[in-house]
Homo-oligomer: A and B are copies of this chain.
Amino acid sequence: MITLPTFDDVTAAAQRLAGHAHRTPVLRSRTADALLGAEVFFKCENLQIGGSFKYRGATNAVLQLDPANTSVVATHSSGNHGTAIALAARDRGLRAVIVMPRDSAESKLAAVAAAGAEIVLCEPGTTAREATLAELLEREPAAVVHPFDDERVIAGQGTAALELLAEVPGIDCIVAPVGGGGLIGGTALAAKGVGSAIRVIGAEPALADDAYRSFKTGARQSAGVPNTIADGLRGSIGVRNFALLQRYVDDMVTVSEAAIVAAMRTVLEDLKLLIEPSSAVAVAGLLGAQLGAGATRIGVILSGGNVDIDRCPFLRGERVG
């Protein structure tokens, strides 16, 4: 029997995070509005501490640990959750140990290390991550904060949408990317708590469409080891997350790898924002599908901005203008 977080958990998380997480800005784009025939509001979690929304859920969880009984926090993560746990643990004077797949983005490995955490590498895929974390816990007791299948984490992630909906009245559709389902779960809780008529749409890479298949078939599916560029969305949807998906999410869409890259570029050129491929999945979902049909005010969660940009020559010193 699992317990699901509620809207009250999201509002409690928002109070707990006040003074810890950034209240990130909401940006607009004339081009996006014209393209979609609606007003679009981008919630910039790429500008959150640690470069992604993950700091919300991690901090909401770590702030609820009893420091008298906890000295180490452990988790597995493709990167952003690991960085977030490392930062949240450091803020409270705790050690952090992060299990990371070998194919994690280099910038994310570097960020986790820079935040002072110990990294334990494992093979890619949910099974290997969880086995490695279990081994680690046998050697050393630690408080585990799962990257998405955790009530505290889901409630924390929901605070991004809660802020957006409080700042922008009348949003009638909200779009977020789906990996393990922490963000979409929290977003859906926040949206349906604010207004049951707000449509909640999850966007997923077609190459990692386990949540889409789970949503459509009504049975939780595994992602295997997906090869999508959206490195933050390679995990399979969690148990609590799937339950929230079934209960509160109105629709799911999938997007191609080319559409993800095109959306990254559009956001960089038009909004002047660096977003990671996982975030671009939501933008691609918005641009590609008829999500806006009927919607007049659309919210999009730009989930993170941690990108390996070493292959980008104009940043290495070549001429731009």
Interface residues of A (CB under 8 A from B): 22, 25, 27-28, 30, 44, 46-47, 49, 51, 103, 105, 107, 229-231, 257-258, 261, 264-265, 268-269, 271-277, 305, 307-309, 311-321
Contacts and interface: CB of A to CB of B under 8 A. Distances in A.
A244 to B, nearest CB: 27
Contact of A309 (B28, B268, B277, B308): B268
Contacts of A272: 44, 46-47, 51, 273-275, 305
A8 B271 CA distance: 32
> 8 closest A-B pairs (Cβ-Cβ)?
A272-B305, A231-B321, A25-B25, A265-B315, A272-B274, A105-B321, A46-B272, A312-B312
A132 B185 CA distance: 59
Contacts of A257: 317
Contact of A307 (B51, B231, B320): B320
A30 B47 contact: no
B274 A320 contact: no
Contact of A277 (B27, B47, B321): B321
A312 to B, nearest CB: 5
A27 B49 contact: no
A145 to B, nearest CB: 22
B231 A277 contact: no
A75 B282 CA distance: 40
A105 B320 contact: yes
A261 B315 CA distance: 6
Nearest to A308: B320
A318 B309 CA distance: 11
Given A265-B309, A311-B314, A312-B312, A319 B229 contact: yes
B261 A317 contact: yes
A81 to B, nearest CB: 15
A180 B313 CA distance: 29
A309 B272 CA distance: 11
